[in-house]
Amino acid sequence: MLKSVNSIAFAATILTLTAGTALAQSCPKTGGTLTYVYHPEPTALSTIATSAVPVAIISTKIYESLLSYEGADMKPKPSLAESWTISDDKLTYTFKLRHDVKWHDGKPFTAEDVKFSVEKIIRPYHSRGKVYFGDVASIDTPEPYTGVFKLKDPVPFFMNVFQPGEAPIMPKHAFDGVDLSTAGAVRKADIMQKPIGTGPFRFKEWRKGSDIILERNPDYWHKGHPCLDQVVLRVLPDGAARAIAVETGEVDLAPMSGLPEAEILRLSKLPQLETSKAGAEALGPNMWLEVNMREKPLSDVKVRQAISLVLDREKIVDVIWYGQGTPARGPIVSANPTYFNKALKPYEYNPKKANALLDEAGYKRDADGVRFKMTQNFLPYGENWVRLAEYVRQELGKVGIVVETQSLDLGGWLKAIYTDWNFNITSTFSHNYSDPSIGVERTFTSSNIKKGATFTNSMGYKNARVDELFAKAAREMDPKARKAQFDEIQQILHNDLPVIFLVELSYTHVWNKRVHGLITNGISMYSSWDSVWKD
């Protein structure tokens, strides 16, 4: 008797475990509409036209890439490719593609689409296409469901690039009759406004200025998915109005710091809402003051160190960014689980030391207490950046550096900083992306001192060792050695201060608790949401 009770209990346990596994694979609940708010409105529905945040959020529900990713460290998982092999010399990547994938227009998906997308669309026209696929020598399609990428040189981050927003696979047939030789013609193609992807949701309607509706793809290859019937973007330009819509439950989600920081702070206390800073680790926004090092006194490292010493990063986070961030310690954000150098010390706040350094550098106070004058610009992305500029002016003023603030809109600011190099210091931020060779290198190597290239080395910073280390790391296949290279880079930049590292910004997402399964990896809002479900 006892034995049989035991075996029943055992059987029940097994049953529960199996049910648990089954649950993890299927939707706990299907149906429903997830509505999210974001502003500005997307200008296209493909990251080939622009990989701006609003476009990346919506287009990644429609388009997929070869891989999907799991966790903050972005472990590759199958997506359009169901398996892959990497040759020992790390020069050949063979992807076996799924056989059961159809485009939203019903046509079958094959390796030809992959070859076409990478060679004709992504590499030439995605803003980071050349970084990702510049080393691809050829893509062979020995049979319809196999894609073989042959590289000229090893690329350590190659398995990171197959993200839906960064390498979206597009249907070859949709580009019939489109002149593929110019960016203009590709950007004008019908598919940029009426997308045809393979993803869990397909495009239904776009009422400009109001909303975009995506509906469930009934032929989606991941059977039983997506869990939701619809994903809707509502365009609400006013920050306070967006917060109200989240608060009243009219919308379910405000992703990627889509609300003013003060509102996020307020909403985080409401019982029906959830806020999270997790889920954007592979973006890694990092905010700093870019310093034009071409002229004195900013070419002097002591002056830059003094500027760093008078800026209280804790205060910037708490007061200006309402707690939405972490004091920065260097070029790679601390949320990066692989490459952040934990040996970096937090930057000190010490105006006294700053004064001493400025004296030592030979910039003594004159009769009015002024050491020197300079101008500052700020990134025109809203209130916080204006307040930061005011804070910088005030704090530098205390140690005798008189700062005049210049206000420009985005078009004017970009030209002044990255085309004319006509500035002294400016606030800005940059994304680490999924690998330092993608997101960090472009700001600090001397080969990226290029007029007209936005978010590059505007400072004119040249350090042969840094150049050498970045070049090595871009080819280094030994993870340990690569980590050591990035550690050294971080230490050098931490001390050299070609930019004054200030705050690792957070992308905070706010959602209604009736929505589940949003945070899955380091690019959660740029993922397909095929397993997101709603009560």
Partner 1 sequence: MSATLWFVIRRTLQVIPVVLAIAALNFLLLHLAPGDAADIIAAQSGGASAEFTAELRRSFGLDLPLYQQFFVYIGRLLTFDLGFSNVQHRPVFDLIAERVPATLLLMVVSIGFALLIGVALGIISAMRHRSWVDSVVSVIALLVYATPQFWLGLMLIVLFSIMFGTLPSGGMMTIATDMSVWERAVDIGRHLILPSITLALFYVAVYARLMRASMLEIYTFDFVTTARAKGLSETRVGLVHAASNALLPVITLAGVQVGHLLGGSILIETVFGWPGLGRLVFDALLQRDLNLLLGILFISSIVVVLANLAVDLLYGFLDPRIVHQ
Q: Which of 228, 195, 220, 227 minimizes the C-alpha distance to 80? A: 220
| CB of residue 297 to partner 1, shortest distance in Å | 27
Tokens standing for residue 204:
């239904």
Question: If binding is defined by CB under 8 A, does position 209 make contact with partner 1?
Answer: yes
Residues 238-297 that bind partner 1 (CB under 8 A): 238, 240-241, 244-245, 247-248, 250
- CA 82 vs CA 95, 100, 149: distances in Å: 8, 11, 16
Q: Which of 202, 239, 242, 185 minimizes the C-alpha distance to 45? A: 202
Question: If binding is defined by CB under 8 A, does position 383 make contact with partner 1?
Answer: no
**Stretch in the footprint of partner 1 (CB under 8 A) among 58-66, 75-83, 168-176, 231-239:** 231-239
- Could you tell me which residues come within 8 angstroms of residue 248 by beta carbon, excluding any fewer than 6 positions away? none
| CB of residue 233 to partner 1, shortest distance in Å | 9
Question: If binding is defined by CB under 8 A, does position 375 make contact with partner 1?
Answer: no
Closest to partner 1 by CB, 363 or 433: 433
Question: If binding is defined by CB under 8 A, does position 412 make contact with partner 1?
Answer: yes
Question: If binding is defined by CB under 8 A, does position 35 make contact with partner 1?
Answer: yes
Question: If binding is defined by CB under 8 A, does position 481 make contact with partner 1?
Answer: no
Query: Binder to partner 1 among 232, 311, 403, 510 (CB under 8 A)?
Result: 232
Question: If binding is defined by CB under 8 A, does position 102 make contact with partner 1?
Answer: no
CB-CB contact of 280 with 493 (8 Å): no
- Could you tell me which residues come within 8 angstroms of residue 315 by beta carbon, excluding any fewer than 6 positions away? 391
**Stretch in the footprint of partner 1 (CB under 8 A) among 114-122, 305-313, 326-334, 403-411:** 403-411
Question: If binding is defined by CB under 8 A, does position 370 make contact with partner 1?
Answer: no
Closest to partner 1 by CB, 219 or 238: 238
Question: If binding is defined by CB under 8 A, does position 160 make contact with partner 1?
Answer: no
Question: If binding is defined by CB under 8 A, does position 514 make contact with partner 1?
Answer: no
Closest to partner 1 by CB, 52 or 278: 52
- Could you tell me which residues come within 8 angstroms of residue 47 by beta carbon, excluding any fewer than 6 positions away? 55, 56, 59, 60, 63, 126, 165, 166, 168
Number of residues that bind partner 1 (CB under 8 A): 64
Question: If binding is defined by CB under 8 A, does position 506 make contact with partner 1?
Answer: no
Question: If binding is defined by CB under 8 A, does position 33 make contact with partner 1?
Answer: yes
Strand-pair category, 425-431 with 372-377: parallel
Question: If binding is defined by CB under 8 A, does position 185 make contact with partner 1?
Answer: yes
As a whole number of angstroms, the distance between CA 100 and CA 346 comes to: 51
Residue 415: its H or E element = none
Q: What is the DSSP letter of 160?
A: G
Q: Is 535 exposed, middle or buried (0-12, 13-18, 19+ CB in 10 A)?
A: exposed
Query: Binder to partner 1 among 51, 59, 160, 528 (CB under 8 A)?
Result: 51
Residues 210-229 that bind partner 1 (CB under 8 A): 210-211, 213
| CB of residue 380 to partner 1, shortest distance in Å | 9
Which residue carries 């999924």 as its tokens?
Answer: 434
Tokens standing for residue 474:
């871009």
Cα atoms in the 13 Å half-sphere on the side-chain side of 185: 11
Question: If binding is defined by CB under 8 A, does position 52 make contact with partner 1?
Answer: yes
| CB of residue 209 to partner 1, shortest distance in Å | 3
Length of the chain: 535
Residue 158: its H or E element = none
Question: If binding is defined by CB under 8 A, does position 34 make contact with partner 1?
Answer: no
Strand-pair category, 372-377 with 401-406: parallel
Tokens standing for residue 35:
């509505």
Q: Which residues pair with 509 in a beta bridge?
A: 276
Query: Binder to partner 1 among 92, 193, 350, 463 (CB under 8 A)?
Result: 193
Question: If binding is defined by CB under 8 A, does position 130 make contact with partner 1?
Answer: yes
CB-CB contact of 281 with 335 (8 Å): yes
Tokens standing for residue 267:
């909403």
As a whole number of angstroms, the distance between CA 527 and CA 63 comes to: 10
Query: Binder to partner 1 among 430, 512, 527, 528 (CB under 8 A)?
Result: 430
Query: Binder to partner 1 among 67, 192, 227, 361 (CB under 8 A)?
Result: 192
Cα 30 vs. chain centroid, distance in angstroms? 29
| CB of residue 159 to partner 1, shortest distance in Å | 20
Query: Binder to partner 1 among 123, 128, 304, 534 (CB under 8 A)?
Result: 128
> Can you give the binding site for partner 1, defined by CB under 8 A?
33, 35, 40-41, 43-44, 49-53, 127-128, 130, 182-185, 187-188, 192-193, 207-211, 213, 230, 232, 234-238, 240-241, 244-245, 247-248, 250, 408-416, 418-419, 430-431, 433, 442, 450-456
